Structure 1
Amino acid sequence: MLTRRLLQLFVGLAMYGISLAMFIRAGLGLDPWDVFHQGVAGRTGLSIGVVVIIVSFLVLLLWIPLRQWPGFGTLCNAVLVGVFADVGLALIPTFSHLGGQIGLLAGAVLLNGIASACYIGARFGPGARDGLMTGLARRTGWSVRVSRTLIEVVVLAVGWLLGGSVGVGTVVYALAIGPLVQLLLPWFMVPAAIPPALVPEPGASELPAGPLAAVDPAGAEPLARKA
């Protein structure tokens, strides 16, 4: 089980970084956080992968007042997505004709959805940006939707002002990624381990009620503990 989880985590993060490179090479607009990353990269001269890594660790500092704790997957996410984004940019050419751009954008959205389902389903903890969203929601009492919208509007606006790419790809990503991950996640979700003491006796109808009854899909901790 652990081997599968680790493999799924690393493959998912690698695909996520490659999908980011595909979005950039498509040239039709990025998701809000990557608009910000691209804008910062353009202003600083750093590669976008390096910017992704730096921003990830800066966002993790914001977890401290929210009393969020990173998991193993959180730290891997902070490093590997940026590394593979730069690898992808070195390998994937820029498309100058619209048909190629549309095809690359569609492939990027699909790969990003698979990658998200992979690393979320591995249950090693959320990414830095997702943890910021859920932590803010928990500490303020706002809904996750409100927290996410607020954060992404801010980073999108700042990224656009810095010169990041906003376009049809931004809208496509916003509309497609949620349903796509929801569709794919059951295929990649690793079942939560059940402590031996909670395994039902032969003939028992169900597990005892408790925190394991509801587990966070990101694998950080039981939802009951987050309340």
Structure 2
Amino acid sequence: MTRPACWPPWERLALLGTGTLTMGVGIALLVASRLGMVPMDTVHLAVARASGWTFGVGILVCQAILLASFLPLKLRPGVGTFVGLVIPALTADTVLAVLPPLTNIIVRLAVFAAGGGLFCTGVALYLVASLGPLPRDGLMLVLAGDRGATGKNGRRLALARIGIDSVFVATATLILGPAEAVHTGAVGAGTVVLALISGPLIARLLRRVRRIPALSPSTSGEHPVQARHAAAESS
């Protein structure tokens, strides 16, 4: 399948914006559910609490530190790398500021499920835009041997994600302490679920998003909408 570089810039920017906003909302819902969060976000929360920052600032600082890994890994940051640093952090802080405390376990479970689905969908959308991966996902793609974010080797991508996420959870638990990690909802049964399913789900969503006709370039590099207009004019 051709690379998304054939898509018009506005479509790629739309994917990037939609993806990063969706990620931010998903992250906030997971935090609010207090049933566990995306493994990397356990580190964001741990650093934020230890430093007295908001959750969003914790995201910015941790991801900026990971960005330093791009140089030895020979990864090239793009506009998506920096947008992906800022938009999810701002969105998460904004949503968390307006969400009321959740006490009903049924509501919390529903919010957790919605948050996990939105987060994985957002990751797939911004990766498909191919405007530069987040530091965390750049590392995942390198370990999986999928620098182009094709999603073709779903098994290796999933294993890389699971391995990275396991390290993040262990790090957050060390920073917060086991009791505090569980009390805040940073680490829980939901964290384990997300660590196990986010990799496979993102890999599957990558393939599905690339198959959407409105978003898929033709094999000649011509966008489908342009191809349809050309066919109509020739007839």
Q: TM-score range by the shorter chain?
A: 0.7 to 0.9
Alignment of 1:115 onto 2:122: yes
Structure 2 counterpart of 1:162, from 175, 188, 202: 175
- Identify the residue that residue 48 of structure 2 maps to in structure 1: 41
- Identify the residue that residue 136 of structure 2 maps to in structure 1: 129
After TM superposition, the score normalised by the length of structure 1 is: 0.75
- Identify the residue that residue 224 of structure 2 maps to in structure 1: none
CA change 1:93–1:112 in 2 (3 A) is same
- Identify the residue that residue 221 of structure 1 maps to in structure 2: none
Q: How far 1:39 sits from its partner (Å)?
A: 0.8
Does structure 1 retain, via aligned residues, the 8 Å contact 2:27–2:115? Answer: yes
Please list, as runs of the form range in 1=range in 2, the aligned pairs for 1:57-206 lying within 5 A after superposition: 57-135=64-142, 147-163=160-176, 164=181, 165-189=186-210, 190-191=215-216
Aligned equivalents of 2:136 and 2:173: distance in 1? 18
- Identify the residue that residue 15 of structure 1 maps to in structure 2: 22
Identity %: 32
Gaps in structure 2 of 5+ consecutive residues: 1-7, 146-155, 222-235
Q: How far 1:151 sits from its partner (Å)?
A: 3.2
Aligned equivalents of 1:118 and 1:174: distance in 2? 19
Q: How far 1:18 sits from its partner (Å)?
A: 1.1
AA matched with 1:152: D
Aligned equivalents of 1:183 and 1:148: distance in 2? 13
Aligned equivalents of 2:94 and 2:124: distance in 1? 21
Gaps in structure 1 of 5+ consecutive residues: 197-227
CA change 1:31–1:62 in 2 (3 A) is same
Aligned equivalents of 1:17 and 1:116: distance in 2? 10
After TM superposition, the score normalised by the length of structure 2 is: 0.73
The total of aligned residue pairs comes to 192
Aligned-pair RMSD on alpha carbons? 2.3
